[in-house]
Amino acid sequence: MNDVELLALCSFLHDVGKLVFRAGRKGERHYEETYNILREFLPEDIAEIASHHHESKITPFEWKPSALSGEKKILAEIISQADNISSALEREDEEKGTSRKMVNIFSTLRNGKRREIDYSKEDIENFLQTLKVLFSSMKAEEVPLGFLDVISRTFLINIPETTMSGPVETSLYSHQKLTAAFAVAIYHYLLEKYEDLRNFPFGKVSENEKCFLLLEIDISGIQKFLYHVGMKKALR
C-alpha cells in the first residue's frame, strides 16, 4: 500500500469512533474509540494514523499527531488539516448531542422547517461488523476504496457527522469521504511544493495558502439549464 492509498484509507475511517456514541454505548473520546475499533482488524499503524487527528488544546498529547513520529506523524498531520477543513466546527472536550438526528436540508430550503432523518442503530452494528469481516478476510491493501465507499454510503448516509449539539446537515459518510478527498489533495500539493514531506513545516503554514482549485464541470449541459429555469420556487 503506497502513501496515498494509506492516507485515503485512514481518512475514510478516522471518525468511526463516533459510531460508539451513536449506538448508545458509553466510551472514551471518539478518536480513542476509532483506535479501539480499528486495531481489532487492521494493522497498528493504520489505527494510529486514523485516530491521531486532533491537534487542539483540549486533546491529550498522546492522541495528537505530534505524539507520533516519522511517516505516521506526517500522514496524521495531513488528516488533521483535512478534517478541520471538511468539518469547519469548533472542537469541544465532550461528546454532546449523541442522540441528535440529521436535518433534511431540502425541507429547510423549501419551507424553512427542519425535518429530522431517522437512523438505525442496526445500521451502525452492521457497518462495524461488515468492516470487521472485510478486513479480517483481506489485507488492507487488497480492499478497494470504492467498495469501502459503497458500504459506508449504505450504512452511514443518515448518521450525523458530529456528536456535538446543534442541527446537523452532513452525514458521517459525507464527512469522512470529503476528509479523504482533502487529505489526498493536500498530500499531492505538499509533495509537489516540498518534494520531501519531511521538509514541510506543519503548523506554520498560512491558512490563506492556496492549496486547492475548485472546478465546476458541466458535462451534459443540464446544470446550466436547471439554473436558468424561470419558474418561481423551482428547486435547483
Phi and psi at 216, nearest 5°, equal: -110, 115
SS3 27: coil
All cell numbers assigned to 77: 498531520
- pLDDT score of 140: 83
Q: How many other C-beta atoms are found inside a 10 Å radius of the C-beta of residue 17?
A: 24
- pLDDT score of 24: 80
pLDDT of 224 above 80? no
Least confident of 38-52, 133-147, 208-222: 208-222
Q: Residue 72 corresponds to which amino acid?
A: K
Of 101, 68, 81, which is closest to residue 211 (Cα–Cα)? 81
pLDDT digits (tens, 9 = 90+) for 68-85: 888 899 899 999 989 988
Radius of gyration for the chain, computed over Cα atoms and rounded to the nearest angstrom: 19
d(CA 11, CA 83): 8
Listed by start position, the domains of the chain span: 3-226
CA atoms within 13 A on the CB side of 69: 0
pLDDT digits (tens, 9 = 90+) for 81-111: 899 888 874 444 445 545 567 666 655 556 6
Q: Is the pTM of this model over 0.75?
A: yes
